[in-house]
Structure formats: structure tokens, C-alpha cells
Amino acid sequence: MDCPRRLMARLTRAVLVAVKAATVLVLVTGCVWAAGCGWSDSETTSTAATTTVTTVPDTGSSTTSSLTTASTTASTTASSTTSDTTGGAQGTALYPAENADGAWGFIDAAGAWVVQPQYKWVASFSEALAAVLGNSYGFIAPDGTVAIPLELSGVNSFSEGLAAVFLAGQAGNRWGYMDQTGALVIEPRFNNAEPFSEGLAVVRGEAGLGYIDQTGAWVIQPRFDYASSFSEGLAAVWLNSDQLESAGIARTVALAVPPRPVGKWGYIDRSGSFVIEPQFDTAGDFKEALAAVQVDTGWGYIDQTGAMVIEPRFKDARPFAGGLAAVGTGLKWGYIDKTGAFVVEPRFDDAGDFSEGLAPVAVPGEPGLSKWGYIDRAGAWVIEPRFGWAQSFSSGLALVSLDGTLAYVDPTGKVVWRQQ
């Protein structure tokens, strides 16, 4: 499936981990698609980005979403991008893990079960609570006690003190926001709702996507078909061809197979004013003061004035992390610095983000398959490629596929936990 925000799949591609809901892909970036529920930017290439697999009741049209619902049994992995793992006593990291029977719980950094496997699905801890799925959704504390009863039809992880929740059969099947006591602080009235970021959240009203504050008041009125969360003071939004014409912005019609909506991406500030006019085919979030964007000639990077500081010459591009960004040349992946110079020459089949000094990369394995391992910032192997897929490190561990089972490894490559 193709849509104007295709870069979300290109920037942080997903791996499918223990897929129990093959009709749905949810990326850590938030893009989502469920049959009949909206749109997607997901690509199913095995890569190093963390992934949640679940379904979402999008009662309106498109928004970038990482919401989860109980309509399908689902699986998840530890997310180093959208949530932390520090849920245990005195900040001890906890990691989602699935046993051989398909039940999910949490382990510590030594691989010992802290929350026994008993759920159909769990999310990483975020702000000391983790979303879990039994017969319905709820939240647990780090010691495994239920903090918010498992009575919800859909949830998102907590962000800035609030979590989006879906109440089926109530208020016309709408999304609202709940605080950490379980109290509804923003009444359910939205067709879809995103996590809060920098004090604002993307939600879908009847007129489209807009942004609310933590009181539920509109700060930026709903008028967008597609919109991302704020990052480093700016948010990427998409205007369709009619909106571009109304705004006096030249529109171009490019042929695409399959056909996709005609429009352009630009960036707004917290007042809703365009700081960077819509001009990009796809546009990523700002990370480390740069954003990956796609134009006719390929992918490049802009600064917060909209100036193209790294010329668009790549076939694929991911956000900067730790001063380096993974880029694809069409055949291989490597890493560039903020001048656009290659620091690690393109020689990998795929490449994930650097985190905690290491990055997961893929090289050819058995025919038609890749092997994943980890390199340092100089491009030297630290953990030799032997995994079916591999995710970025988070709180000292990384989730990998080892001979068809889930496992966590430490930065030396030692297996500290393996599914059994």
C-alpha cells in the first residue's frame, strides 16, 4: 500500500515479530493500517526497527497512529524509539518477552521473569506503566500489579502524563485521554488520537486532523488529511492539491503506480503557521535538527529553515541518530554524517539506527535471506551477523531472532534470554 507518508516506512522500517495478526502492521514511528480501518505506510521488509503488531479502530480517516485495540490478539517487542524500558525497582529496565506458548510478560536485564508471562500482548513500559492485553486492554505497574483495569477497547502508551484510550460502544466509539489514575481527563470525542508530544497531540475531528493541548482544547484547528506529531518544534503536515491551489502554492501531478493522493508535505509551528511551505513528496520528523525529505531527485535532508543541507541523492533515508543517518543508494546501505559524507560506506543490505554505540545491519545470508549483526560507528563488526533480524539496543539489550526464536543479546553478543 502506498500513501503520501511513505517515508515513515522508509525511515524506520519494521520487522514482524511473532505475527499473530497478519492484516496489520504498526511501526514504531506510528504509521498503521488495518483492513478497513485507514491507511498505512508499512513495508514488511525485515529490518532493525522495533515493531508492534496489532489492530486499530480508526473510526475516521488517516492519521499516523500507534494505537492498539483488543480486536485481534497481537505481539510486540521492546521499543527503543517510542518508549523506555525502565519500569522496575529503582529504574531497573524491564523488557517485553514472549514464552513458547505465546504468553507475554517482562524480564529483567539478567533474563529473569519479573512479570510472569500471562498476557496476549504487552507494550514497553512508558512513564512507569505498560499497556497489556488480556480479554481487554489495561495498564500494569512494574511489579505486575494492575494499575488501570483491563476494561478498555483500545489504548496507547502513556506520553507526557496521558494515554489515548478507545471506548467501544461509548460516545459513539471515540478516542479520549486518560491520566495515570485511570480518570478520563479528555472526554472521548475523536475519531483517532495520537500520543502527546511537546504538549500537543494529533487527533482527528470531523473536519480532519488537528492538534489539541492537554485540556482537550483545539490549538491548531483540524484541516489536514495527514499529520505527524511535533518534533523539535515543528510538525510535518500534508496538503492535498485543492488546498495547495487555495493557498496559492503551485501543484504538480506525478504519475504513481499504484496511484496515490496528489499533494505536498510541509512543516508547521505550534501556531499552525507554515514555517516550511509544502513542497515535498514525503517528509520525516526533525531529529537532531535535520529532517529527511523526498523530492523528484531522491532523498535528502533539510534544516529547520527548509534549506536543503544534504542534497537529495539517496534512494532511501532514515533519521539522524547519534550524529549518523542510514541511507540507501538503491543497492546498498551505509551511514552519513551531517555534512552528507559517508562515514560507513554503503555495503549492507539494510541498516538500522545507531543506539548505544551500535547499529544493526544486514548482509547476505542463505539464498533470499539476510543475516543481521552489529557494527560500531567506524563500520567494524562488534557482533558478527548471525540473526534472522535484529533491533537497535535499548537499555543495554537488543531483541533479535535467533534460529527462529526471540532472544535478547547484550553489546558483546552474549544471549541473556531466549524464548522457551
pLDDT in tens, 197-211: 999 999 999 999 999
Distances (CA, A) of 193 to 31, 163, 200, 286: 12, 9, 11, 21
CB neighbours of residue 349 within 10 Å: 21
**What integer pLDDT is reported at residue 22 of this predicted model?**
25
Residue 368's pLDDT band (cuts 50, 70, 90): confident
Residues 76 and 102: their CA atoms lie apart, in Å, by 11
Residues 79 and 77: their CA atoms lie apart, in Å, by 6
Of the candidates 62, 40, 5, which has an alpha carbon nearest to the alpha carbon of residue 285?
Answer: 5
Please provide the average confidence, as pLDDT, over all residues in the chain. 81
Residues 6+ away with beta carbon under 8 Å from 28: 12, 14, 49, 50, 51, 52, 66, 79, 81, 82
Q: What angle do CA 380, 286, 203 make, to 5 degrees?
A: 130
Residues 319 and 328: their CA atoms lie apart, in Å, by 12
Higher pLDDT, 419 or 40: 419
Whether the predicted pLDDT of 80 surpasses 60: no
Residues 28 and 124: their CA atoms lie apart, in Å, by 11
Residues 193 and 165: their CA atoms lie apart, in Å, by 8
Whether the predicted pLDDT of 75 surpasses 90: no
Residues 94 and 162: their CA atoms lie apart, in Å, by 21
Residues 15 and 345: their CA atoms lie apart, in Å, by 24
The percentage of residues in the chain with a pLDDT greater than 90, rounded to a whole number, is 69
Distances (CA, A) of 346 to 8, 35, 164, 376, 419: 21, 36, 40, 14, 33
Whether the predicted pLDDT of 389 surpasses 80: yes
Whether the predicted pLDDT of 327 surpasses 60: yes
Of the candidates 229, 205, 230, which has an alpha carbon nearest to the alpha carbon of residue 218?
Answer: 205
Q: What is the mean pLDDT of residues 285-302?
A: 97
Q: What is the mean pLDDT of residues 66-85?
A: 37
Residues 6+ away with beta carbon under 8 Å from 259: none
Whether the predicted pLDDT of 71 surpasses 50: no
List, in sequence order, every beta strand (DSSP E) within 23-142.
Answer: 25-27, 32-33, 51-53, 68-69, 75-76, 95-98, 104-107, 113-119, 121-122, 130-133, 137-140
**What integer pLDDT is reported at residue 89 of this predicted model?**
55
Give the pLDDT confidence of 57-68 residue by residue, as tens digits. Answer: 344 434 443 333
Residues 361 and 364: their CA atoms lie apart, in Å, by 10
Whether the predicted pLDDT of 13 surpasses 80: no
Residues 401 and 419: their CA atoms lie apart, in Å, by 10
Cβ contact 156:150 at 8 Å: no
Q: How many residues does the chain have?
A: 420
End-to-end C-alpha distance for the chain, whole angstroms: 35
**What integer pLDDT is reported at residue 366 of this predicted model?**
86
**What integer pLDDT is reported at residue 360 of this predicted model?**
98
- Domain locations in the chain? 349-420
How would you label 251-288 residue by residue, b for 16+ Cβ within 10 Å and e otherwise?
Answer: beeeeeeeeeeebbbbbbebebebebebbbbbbbbbbe
How many whole angstroms from its chain centre is CA 195?
11
**What integer pLDDT is reported at residue 78 of this predicted model?**
33
Residue 31's pLDDT band (cuts 50, 70, 90): very low
3-state secondary structure of 13: coil
Residues 315 and 235: their CA atoms lie apart, in Å, by 23
Give the pLDDT confidence of 233-254 residue by residue, as tens digits. Answer: 999 999 986 666 566 565 444 4
Grid cell 543479546 — which residue? 409
